Amino acid sequence: MLALFFPPGAGLSGPTSPASPSSELGPFALTAPTVAAHTDFNVSGTSGTSGSFTSHTGDTIVVFLTAFGSNTMAVSDSTHDLFSKVASASQPSSNGASSLWIFAAYNVSTGATKKITATIAGGSTDSAAVAVVDVTGVGPAPFDHVGSVANYTTANDPRNSSALVPASASDLVLGMVAAHETRVWSAAGGDKLLNDEHSPVPNALITTVDLDRVASAPGSVWINATTARSGTYWMSDGLSLLPKGSSGHPAKFTFTETGLSSGHAWYVVVGGSVNNSTTAQINVSLPNGNYRFSVGPISGVIATPSTGSITIGNSGGTRAITFAAAADDWPTYMGEVSRNGANLNETSLSPTTAPNLTKLWALSTGYMQTEPIVQHGTVYVGGTNGYEYAINASTGVQVWKTFVGQVVQPNCDAKAQGITSSATDYGGMIYVGGGNITGNLTNGTAGGTRSTPRPGTSPG
């Protein structure tokens, strides 16, 4: 039996349709940069030049080199783009020295057919193997991260080469292997092998391998290559290129609120994380992109907007949230996420009026262990019989009921149990912890359900 009591003459508005449920929170994927062209060539003596390839205005050109001997490398192209050194390292080998070099020209000024020239200078001008990658769709900053060079001077059996490169989601990660002695490498671990340039110079058997991979999530990306032969010296390194529309680095976005009393806690879920504050501002830091947000339920007030989307750019951004009084709402267990059990906008009840409460209505529902919630003039409550009920708060008339499920837990209760926890109204959906050991989402108007198994379970 469920009974609700209200002061004499105190009425509740009839049921209204809740807002449409928001889509799953999280960033929208950015379009990763793509390889527009790649080529390779050798340097024998002091310089060498690639074949022609087409580049576009705004592209980034990355050049990987493996040099034999104690040399210094430089890179230029036929349209006078400015190349800067991104990384370099050297190591001794059994019959000399070899070095790894990465150069890049960012945001090239002219889209045209180009040729790359690599120049060797130093005490031992021997040879180099060169790989060139032209990338389009790169963001406003040249790189997200450059990896640390892995120098495998004493490797006895280097069948796998790994460049560990930090990256943000949708970055294009380029990795290289600089090998002393000629080796035929292949991609490993799902990475793509662009090319494998071998130097034909007999006294300088060297290899440059370049690989690419799109990062699926923030973190370190392993660019892997493997060779069937052993007994060589090699190094590896890489860099990650940002997609357009992303800086790759967190930018601050500010939510501001009006309508809450001073010091009252409020919550915003954005990018999959819960952010809270007891001041008028909530600041979130996320990489540039588009995100969904939802405002956490608070008893006695309604947030506008309660859900929506935001775009975070290099300059951050703001979104204003307005809380308006809704004295009859109780959207979750104990009123709100902080579980304070208080509705600060309730004015009808007081120590003076409480003794005058009378029964407004009653509805037979079976045994219940849950606290009802009230939202938009509708009461939501679950029973141990496995049903969730929607009831008109003013009349006590059942709007709908939907079966969520029951479960038997012998170590707890031999009898089948249904819903034993309170529902929560969030973003226009009624969330119910059901007896089928799943998370259930119930449309507040129609009463339809969707079940999402918890880890390690299956729907009942």
**Separation CA 326–CA 453 (nearest Å):** 34
pLDDT at 24: 39
- Contact yes or no for 104/142 (Cβ under 8 A): yes
The series of mean pLDDT values per 10 residues for the chain, 460 residues long, is 35 32 46 91 88 90 86 86 87 71 86 89 76 88 76 62 79 88 80 85 76 82 80 83 69 87 87 84 78 82 86 77 79 68 70 84 82 83 87 88 77 74 74 60 44 32
How many angstroms separate the Cα of 174 from the Cα of each of 151, 171, 216, 220? 17, 10, 14, 13
Q: List phi, psi (to 5°) of 355.
A: -65, -15
Helix (H) or strand (E) run with residue 136 in it: strand 127-136
Q: What is the C-alpha to C-alpha distance for residues 369 and 418, in angstroms, rounded to an integer?
A: 10
Q: What is the pLDDT of residue 145?
A: 78
Q: Could you tell me the strand order of the sheet in which 281-286 lies?
A: 281-286, 251-258, 317-325, 301-304
Structure confidence at residue 286 (pLDDT) = 72
Cβ-in-10-Å burial (0-12, 13-18, 19+) of 217 comes to exposed
In whole angstroms, what is the distance from residue 246 CA to residue 374 CA?
A: 42
Q: How do beta strands 172-180 and 233-241 pair?
A: antiparallel
What lies within 8 Å, CB to CB, of 28 at 6+ separation is 289, 290, 291
At 12 the pLDDT is 31
Q: What integer pLDDT is reported at residue 402 of this predicted model? A: 84
In whole angstroms, what is the distance from residue 170 CA to residue 242 CA? 7
Which of 346, 136, 432, 318 lies closest to 308 in space, CA to CA? 318
> What pLDDT, on a 0 to 100 scale, did the predictor assign at position 36?
93
Confidence at residue 294, expressed as pLDDT on a 0 to 100 scale = 87
In 3D space, the residue among 11, 9, 12, 7 whose CA is nearest the CA of residue 377 turns out to be 12
Q: Is 313 exposed, middle or buried (0-12, 13-18, 19+ CB in 10 A)?
A: middle
Report the alpha-carbon angle 278-282-288, nearest 5: 165
Q: How far does the chain reach from its first CA to its final CA, in angstroms?
A: 26
**Where along the chain do its domains lie?**
2-26+251-453, 34-241
User: What pLDDT is stored for residue 125 in this prediction?
Assistant: 55
Q: What pLDDT does 20 receive?
A: 34
Position 226 scores a pLDDT of 84
According to DSSP, the residues that pair with 409 across neighbouring strands are 413
